[in-house]
């Protein structure tokens, strides 16, 4: 199974600044995903990032606020731009691996806990 | 993707079986039932999935009703480390998992 690391694991940032979160996978994967988990809430998909193409954003999320890079098959970054306290969340990346019988499983990173003051 | 309904919380005694229900009455024919769990301060972890047959692996068993409108995840011998939020998800693959509110399972010593 894929092993995923994220940097930073946590950060405290000032309003109006930006933070870039890195996601590193120990194997080559086609699809990577970025999720947000607000305090006490479930996970919400932000976007899907495929190597070689622009990320696909879910309703309510825009590229200007959450620019994503996917330079190769093992790495992706998510930037949270012009932060406000409402952006305080855990941000998780995940990857999809194809298992037997053609079904896919998602593996999640440990998350980045962001607090915006 | 079909909406799921789960109880917000459940308790289970350590060593006993934990049975977590999920209603998915609008499931379509090609949607799988996936279960993930999220232990505090960690990312979600895959548990099991199925289409229409009951499934068992080293972690759990999944029982799907014949009409596929509901399912039950069974942890046969719950331990304290099974305390987590359990998510029941309907999907045609693992893409774009839609996480509902889940069930917070507390295993009690």
Q: Report pLDDT digits (tens) over A54-79.
A: 899 999 999 999 999 999 999 999 99
Q: What percent of chain B has pLDDT over 90?
A: 71
List all residues 6 or more positions away from A109 whose beta carbon is below 8 Å from its beta carbon.
Answer: A4, A5, A6, A23, A92, A93, A94, B43
Residue B95 above 70 pLDDT? no
The reply to whether residue B97 touches residue A4, judged by beta carbons under 8 angstroms, is: no
B57 touches chain A (CB under 8 A): no
The pLDDT of residue B97: 78
Which of A43, A99, A101 is the best substitution to test chain B (most B C-beta atoms within 10 A)? A43
Which of A103, A109, A112 is the best substitution to test chain B (most B C-beta atoms within 10 A)? A103
Indicate the pairing of strand B9-13 with strand B103-108. parallel
Give the bridge partners for B36, in sequence order.
Answer: B46, B87
Which positions in chain B touch A43 (Cβ < 8 Å)? 38, 44, 97, 99
**Strand, helix or coil for residue B5:** strand
The minimum CA-CA distance between A47 and chain B, rounded to whole Å, is: 9
A56 touches chain B (CB under 8 A): no
Residue B84 above 90 pLDDT? yes
Quick: pLDDT tens for B49-71. Answer: 999 989 999 999 999 999 999 99
Residue B28 above 90 pLDDT? no
How far is B56 from B74, CA to CA, in rounded Å?
9
Count the neighbouring beta carbons within 10 Å of the beta carbon of residue A91. 22
Which of A23, A46, A104 is the best substitution to test chain B (most B C-beta atoms within 10 A)? A104
A44 touches chain B (CB under 8 A): yes
The reply to whether residue A106 touches residue B93, judged by beta carbons under 8 angstroms, is: no
The minimum CA-CA distance between B16 and chain A, rounded to whole Å, is: 27
A55 touches chain B (CB under 8 A): no
């Amino acid at each position: 199974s894929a092993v995923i690391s994220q940097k930073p694991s946590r950060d405290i940032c000032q309003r109006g600044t930006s933070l870039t979160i890195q996601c590193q996978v120990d194997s080559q994967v086609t699809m990577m995903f970025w999720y947000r988990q607000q305090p006490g809430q479930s996970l919400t998909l932000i976007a899907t990032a495929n190597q070689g193409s622009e990320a696909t954003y879910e309703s309510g999320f825009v590229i200007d606020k959450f620019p994503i890079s996917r330079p190769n098959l093992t790495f992706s970054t998510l930037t949270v731009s012009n932060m406000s306290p409402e952006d305080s969340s855990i941000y998780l990346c995940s990857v999809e691996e194809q298992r037997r019988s053609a079904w896919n499983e998602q593996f999640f990173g440990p998350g980045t806990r962001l607090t915006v003051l | 993707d079909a909406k799921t309904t789960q109880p917000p919380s459940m308790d289970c005694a350590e060593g006993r079986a934990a049975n977590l229900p999920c209603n998915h009455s609008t499931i379509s024919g090609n949607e799988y039932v996936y279960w993930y769990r999220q232990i505090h301060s960690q990312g979600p972890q895959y548990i099991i999935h199925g289409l229409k047959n009951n499934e068992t692996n080293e972690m759990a068993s999944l029982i799907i009703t014949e009409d596929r409108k509901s399912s039950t995840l069974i942890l046969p011998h719950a331990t304290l480390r099974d305390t987590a939020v359990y998510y029941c998800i309907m999907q045609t693959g693992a893409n774009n998992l839609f996480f509902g509110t889940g069930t917070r399972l507390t295993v009690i010593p």
